[in-house]
Amino acid sequence: MEWLVAALAMFLISAVFVSRASASKVMANSPYVTSLGGVFYARAIPDEEKGTKGTTTILRVRRDQDEVIERHAWYAPDGLHLGWSPIAGKVAAMAVGGTPTKDPSERVEFRFYLGAERLTTYTTADLIKLGLWSNGLQHESRRTHGLRVVGCEQIPRTNEYVFRIVLDTNQGEKTIDFDILTGKPYDPAQAATRPAHD
């Protein structure tokens, strides 16, 4: 009987270690496709199992053969959100995720692009400055808990578009809109001075 209890205890201990090990593993990168309104889509192909090395091609659907709009030498491991700017006449992209790291100042959460131009990059430390609740962020992870990407949204009654995120703060949820033309937090006063608003 004691032998059976000891064997059962060893089994339960090993099951806990195995489940913890597999829960902390970062999923391997894999190819994916994402689309914007059925007109534009992106093919994202990783070069490695982890990280941002790879190729992302943004295409426009055409009758006979799809048209390559942009080809980027990067891969977004946690997904890609697309938007269209009628003001710039370009596709905007929000590339989510980076290489896993413990340091919040080096952990890339997302990067913004307009056409071929990289506008800006936000790290976990940047999001903490914007209000992200920082409790428990010192672990190596590809995703930050407390961050939800909504996607591209139109500002009502304008030609302005934003990439919207929701942060968990110590005061509750906080919605932040990033201007797809600048990659910076959206400023209605600045946006109103653009020629498209005249």
Q: What is the pLDDT of residue 99?
A: 78
Closest by Cα among 44, 42, 76 to 60: 42
Measured in degrees and rounded to the nearest 5, phi and psi for residue 19 equal -65, -35
Q: What is the pLDDT of residue 23?
A: 43
Tell me the pLDDT of the chain (198 aa) as tens digits.
554 444 444 444 444 333 334 444 567 899 999 999 889 999 999 999 988 999 999 999 999 999 999 999 999 999 999 999 999 999 999 999 987 788 888 889 999 999 999 999 999 899 989 988 876 554 444 556 788 899 999 999 899 999 999 998 888 899 999 999 999 999 888 777 776 544
Closest by Cα among 188, 184, 191, 176 to 92: 184
| Alpha-helix runs per DSSP H in the chain | 2-24, 124-129, 188-191
Q: What is the pLDDT of residue 172?
A: 87
67-72 and 80-85 strand pairing: unpaired
